[in-house]
Chain A
């Protein structure tokens, strides 16, 4: 019986992790930026969703549409903030070292933490209606909130959507050339700057979406983005930075390991995630799905 619980929790947690982390690997794959502001967008999404959906329900509008408000809020806040950061600041950093760009995003993360506090204050936001409204379902005698299926569905949709865009559309094929070699792509007439802008916005939107969908299940408080960053790092590093199948595998590994640990050895819950990350890096220094890199002499 406990096995069913472990399996269910593993699936739910893995889906949530994938949704939270996939944007990070997308941005790294295309732009080679380890983007610390990922956590800020997660928090921005959560705050925007909690406040807008809260206002929506308080006004007495149809509560069934509050799910659309959650998603809309996440997209809205990203479309405003992400291009501003990319065009306004990050693009001037591209010539610098990978580590320096990461530090710049860390600086932006610090700034955004306080911007969030200035906009939304320091009091917690609760928006439980979308979570409670759906009721619950039973698996093997255990009750689960139906809302969890929304997270699983969103993760699957995100994975399928990204795979479809990359492999079946013209834009996706062009993006693969940019990933492979931005300079040659530019020489061939690809507008690399626009691809960077769109990738940064889409990657951040995924983080904001994860935040928005998580908002109904937690209390939205300052510092929300701090934990999600290292967790996302763990997921994408295990899979291999920049690899989409890697992010999926990393999410499944971390999700399963955590679920097993929570049920059988709760004192190792946090420790085990990073132990797995360290173990994977010890044997596959660039993660499980990673291409070998040419050495420069």
Chain B
């Protein structure tokens, strides 16, 4: 899908949400906003998947972003949604940049396991940290929008609009990144890294760059989810959270920068419906869905669209 089409589809989706938003029930707005936040994290994972890497610890940056966004409210009283998202992205990116020096040297299962260790370190720190509420976490301030403080009815809609704008911008930027020489390098890395090095490109540098980009995206996503839910806790860094992101990434496939958002919405829908129908077996439904995707749709749900067009 070309950059123009990504913009077009994203624009239509945004316009549809802007028009339909006020008429939708608050829980639907809530679910879509959460899905968009998780979609941002998965957009970063998609970059990894293109390079043949899987991170089992992306919850690290998700949680960092949420705590950074919630933290500026808790300690400085800042509740502006744009500053909250910026804080999440900034802290995520900074930690990602530092960790990237180490992680960019790792491949295959070891990349996954080391990132898992990193996210569990954060989890271990947070559950024992009294100042940050230890296992209970803490509540996030009611969001404000450039000084405007919407009522409880409108805050969901306003947050959704900000989320849509952020996600559309992120999708377009990542789409551009994929068109740069560095972006083109990613499938080559997956294919054969040593050849890439022989051609004079640096695999480590490319992976470091996408590592930082993914960290920024996950940080913003975490801050967004934290602000939407109104509460954050250390579970956001636990390995099951990273598992959920990989789940969505596999569900979505790497076919397009919009796939992660579609995947996150499909995931949210399966989760909500399964939980509603049978609270004790929703995990089973998710597990079966994941197995079906692995076996029958190895390129993810997005391939349903591209395959039909190709036929």
Contacts and interface: CB of A to CB of B under 8 A. Distances in A.
B120 A274 contact: yes
Residue among B117, B124, B194, B240 with the most chain A CB within 10 A?
B117
Interface stretch (B166-174, B204-212, B282-290): B282-290
B31 interface: no
B117 A107 contact: no
Nearest to B110: A285
A248 interface: no
B114 A281 contact: yes
Interface residues of A, number: 49
B294 interface: yes
B281 A114 contact: yes
Interface stretch (A72-80, A124-132, A265-273): A265-273
Residue among B108, B113, B192, B195 with the most chain A CB within 10 A?
B113
A139 to B, nearest CB: 29
Contact of B240 (A100, A104, A226): A226
Contacts, number: 123
Interface stretch (A153-161, A163-171, A228-236): A228-236
Nearest to B290: A107
A113 interface: yes
Contacts of B118: 274, 278
B236 to A, nearest CB: 15
B290 A103 contact: yes
A103 B250 contact: yes
Contacts of A271: 121, 124-125, 128
A99 B54 contact: yes
Contacts of A112: 287
Per DSSP, are chain B's interface residues mostly helix, strand or loop, or mixed?
Answer: helix
Contact of A98 (B106, B109, B128): B109
A229 B294 contact: no
Interface stretch (A115-123, A143-151, A195-203): A115-123
A3 B105 CA distance: 39
Given A99-B112, A229-B239, A233-B113, A274 B121 contact: yes
A282 interface: yes
B303 to A, nearest CB: 15
Given A118-B281, A270-B128, A102 B109 contact: yes
Given A104-B290, A296-B192, 13 more contacts: A34-B109, A103-B247, A106-B246, A110-B283, A111-B284, A111-B288, A111-B291, A114-B284, A117-B281, A233-B116, A271-B128, A272-B124, A278-B114
* For the complex of A and B, 3 pairs with smallest distance between CB atoms: A110-B287, A271-B124, A270-B124
Interface of B: 54, 102, 105-106, 108-110, 112-114, 116-118, 120-121, 123-125, 127-128, 192, 194-195, 239-240, 243, 246-247, 250, 280-284, 286-288, 290-291, 294-295, 298
